[in-house]
Each structure stands twice: as structure tokens, then as C-alpha cells.
A and B are shown apart, each in its own frame.
Chain A
């Protein structure tokens, strides 16, 4: 009976965290689908969102959720700048190079955080972090509930933009054939920049949603990049349902592993699971090659 309770508890937590992972991966997937860049700096933007929320809470004494108000303009600006300064000059370079750029950015941001905030692992504890929302015996914290629901909402908004608006049409056209898109008169760099900034913003919002139940330190950026990579590999590129399912997969695996094994094993277990999945389905569970 105790066993069942532990498992269902882990499942419940895993589901809501997993939805947040799906949100965090959304931007990563967009960047890969559109620019063909495995952006290993993506997790750094999640970390940025987390530190932003931390500072909002510590220095301004406000609820960390207020950080969303700052996150949207700051993340858009940072995303736009990174795109303009790094990815525009490097456009047309081979994949390896783009991979290196992502790695360079990740190293830069991680150490910038180390310089600014120090190496300490810091958590934010608010009432919502500890307030339990329970159905029968199974409960999760209110913050986790908020994170999961807000993530689904954000994903829906982005999916609407991508699939139902003229801008989204242009984004998809650029993803499928950038040169042809340019020949259709689309300002490829402008569309890319907007999409990249959108991705960075969703990552930062993901960070804000995570902070009430996840401690932050500089290396967490790379950890989130790895998570996003795993979710993307499982989902495949260009699929929103795939993203949700893969996010759930990661969240649940993580919380189940955490319930039974030392924490170092969680990552090992995920990676092994992903490698096995790759062997069975190299294109991911749902994906095709583009958005």
C-alpha cells in the first residue's frame, strides 16, 4: 500500500514537472527546427529566468511570479541580441560550427551567472511551495500545479501563433526552406529573430515557474539544455503533442527514479532510456524533420 502511494505520488509530481519541461523544450525545438541549431545555451535562459525570479523575490520582496513581467522584455531583448550578434554572422556555417556556438554561449552564460551570483545553490520558498494540493492521498505543491497548468497554456498560445497566424506561416516556411522563403520575400533574419526571442522568452518563463520548487545554481543551465535535448530526441522535431508526451516521459522518469535511487542515477537512467529509444526509433516518437 505504501508502495502504491509512493508511485502515485511520484507520478503526480512527474506529470506537472514534465509539462514544465515540455514548455522549456518548446523554444529549443523551435530553434532546432528553424535554424538547425542544437542550442546548448537554451538551458541558460531557463537559469536566467530562475535568477530573475530569485532576485525579484529577494531584493524586491515580491512574489517570484512577478518576475514574468520583467522576463518577457528582458528575455526578448537578450534573445534578439544573441541571435543578431551570434547566429546572424554564423548563418550558413556547418552544423558543427553552430553546435560550437551554442556551447560557447552556454559556457559564457554559466560563468557570467557564476560571476554575478556565485556558486551557491539557492532555493526560493514561498507559501505556494509548501501548500499541498491533494486528491485522496496523492498531493503536489500548489507551485507545481501552477507551473504545469501555466506551461500548458503557454504551449497552446505558441502553437496557435505557429499554426494559425501569418507570422507562424512565415516561421514554418523559413524552417522548411530558408532560401526559398527569402525568394518569397520573407525577411528570414527578422522572422528567425522573432522566433528565437519567442523561444528564449518561453524558456525564461519556464524558469520563473520552476523556481518555487527547484533550487538554482549556475550549472543548472547546462542540465536544462540536456533535459531539453532529451525531450526533443524523444518527441522528434516539429510536433507539439510529441513535446507534451516526451516532457511527461522525462518528468515521470525523473520523479520515479528519485523515489528509488540516489539522485546521480536519474540522469544516467534518462540517458540510457533515450539511447534505447533512439535505437528503436531514430526519428523520435512523433517527429518529422521540421516544423
Chain B
């Protein structure tokens, strides 16, 4: 018997005005899992995460958190219940310090009392942030900003951490650091759902993967199966043409 997944989306359709972005999409994340959404630009990956955290409404279908329907909740209410999204392009509050950025994310009730512990956790995960805690966040480098953004997600004491392209624009070294941090968090029991464009990078750290294409889920299964599935990788990632020396998977220890 499988237990209830933390989050599950069933037959979800999403529209932007009259344009349909998701067509009958279903996916789920189990406790302690690390799951990846893959696909080309514009295939609907970000829309999936936005739908889960209430930034855009699903027109049909159901999204549940531990079996309870959350379709109609506001984003802040969803964060209150433990689902948090680390958005694409970080979206830090530029004129708040690193520490203020982190503290302001401990607003939900579930996190307020744990403020100190969560802050310690983030600083231990990314010691660089401790050094820079009173710096205004716009003056940080791209990698540090990504760390603050992830840290902000962690401050809300989530049960599922969702990340939209956490590795975008990061240098290989920072990529590795972030990737290690995510793996550590996952091993500590936190469920993670993330978006990535690079197949190799994501397969290395995730348990399972979904491939989206033109707003539909076209493949799902374990990451090891995906790497072995030549036909699928070729169809959706143009594997032959584009795996070059410049795109390397992060090594994780």
C-alpha cells in the first residue's frame, strides 16, 4: 500500500486567457522524494509549479496537499500549509539585507516560533550568507542570491520545497554547492520538486522525473530509467546534437 503523496496534481488544465498552457497534467511527489520536471522552454514546467502554489488557477483538475484539496487557496495560505516555491530569477527583496530577506520569510505561523533554528539551518547550509547577513541583497553575486532565495524558501519550514530553475546562470562551482545543499536537505527528509533544463544535471540528483512537452506530460519514471531511454532523450533533448563538453553534470558527493 502506498501512502498518500505530499502533493498530487490530477488532470490539471491551466489557461492564460484563451491560451491553454497545461493539458490534463498529472504528477505527484511522495514524502522524502526528489522529483524533477523537465522540458524545453515554454513547455509548461513553470506553470505546473505556479499552479501548485496558487499563483495561477487550474481551470479543471485537482491539486491536493496530503489528500486535501488546495486548488482554491491563496498563495500565502498554501505557504502556511508548508508548500513553498523558490521562484525563477530569485526575486529577492533588493533593498532588504540578507538577514531581513530570510527573516521576512519566517512570517507563516508554522515558522514563526522556529525562526532562530531555521536561520541557523540556512547559515549552516550556506556559510557565505552568514558572512554577508547585513549586506543589501541586490549587491550579492548571482550565486549568493540563489542561496538567499533557497534559504528564504527554507525559512518557512516547508514540507515540500519547489524550485524553478535553481541552477540558471550559476557558475559550475556554485552549481555544485547548490546541488550538494539540495541533496543534503533531501537526505534530511525534505521533499523537493524542481525544474531543470539540463537532463544530465537533473538526473544526477533526482529520484524521479516528468517530461513536459507542449503542456502535456509525455514521459514519467525514475531518473535512471530516463537516462537509459535513448529514444526519449533524443526526442525531447536533442541529445546527440547538444551534449557537449560545455554542459557538464554537477558532481555530487
Do chains A and B make direct contact within the complex (CB under 8 angstroms)?
yes
Interface residues of A (CB under 8 A from B): 166, 169-170, 172-173, 176-177, 179-188, 238, 288, 290-291
Among B95, B101, B105, the residue within 8 A (CB) of A185 is B105
> How many pairs of residues, A versus B, come closer than 8 Å at their CB atoms?
73
Write out the residue numbers on chain A whose beta carbons fall within 8 Å of the beta carbon of B80: 185
Nearest CB on B from A89, distance (A)? 15
Most chain B CB within 10 A, of A176, A183, A188, is at A183
User: In whole angstroms, how far apart are the Cα atoms of A176 and B138 in the complex?
Assistant: 11
Residue B237, interface by CB 8 Å: no
Q: Do A169 and B103 touch across chains, with their CB atoms under 8 A apart?
A: yes
Digit string of B203-225 for contact with A (CB within 8 Å is 1, else 0)?
Answer: 00000000000000000000000
How far is the CB of A185 from the nearest CB of chain B, in Å? 3
Are A184's CB and B96's CB within 8 A?
no
Residues of A within 8 A of B76 (CB): 182, 185-188
Q: Of B53, B96, B103, B111, which one neighbours A183 at CB under 8 angstroms?
A: B53
A179 to chain B, nearest CB (A): 7
**A291 to B100 Cα, complex, angstroms:** 14
Binding site for A on B (CB under 8 A): 53, 55, 74-76, 79-80, 84-85, 87, 91-96, 100-101, 103-105, 107-108, 111, 152, 155-156
Contacts of A291 in B (CB 8 A): 95
Contacting residues, chain B, for A179 (C-beta < 8 A): 55, 87, 91
Contacts of B108 in A (CB 8 A): 185
- Determine the residue in chain A with the shortest Cβ distance to B94: A176
Given contacts A173-B93, A176-B95, A179-B91, contact A185 B55 (CB under 8 A): no
B91 touches A172 (CB 8 A): no
Q: Known contacts A166-B103, A184-B79: does B93 contact A176 (CB below 8 Å)? A: yes
A180 and B91 form a contact (CB under 8 A): yes
- 13 of the cross-chain contacts (CB-CB < 8 Å) are A166-B104, A166-B107, A173-B96, A173-B101, A179-B87, A182-B75, A184-B105, A184-B152, A185-B76, A186-B104, A188-B76, A290-B94, A291-B95
CB distance from A95 to the nearest CB of B (A): 20
Considering residues A170, A184, A186, A290, which has the most beta carbons from chain B within 10 angstroms of its beta carbon? A184
Contacts of B111 in A (CB 8 A): 185
Give the residue of A169, A170, A180, A185 whose beta carbon is less than 8 angstroms from that of B87.
A180
Whether B156 contacts A185 by the Cβ 8 Å rule is yes
- How many angstroms from the CA of A182 to the CA of B79 in the assembled complex? 8
Cβ of B107 and Cβ of A186 under 8 Å apart? yes
Q: Which 10 A-B pairs have the closest CB atoms?
A: A185-B79, A185-B108, A180-B91, A184-B105, A176-B93, A182-B75, A173-B104, A169-B104, A173-B93, A185-B107
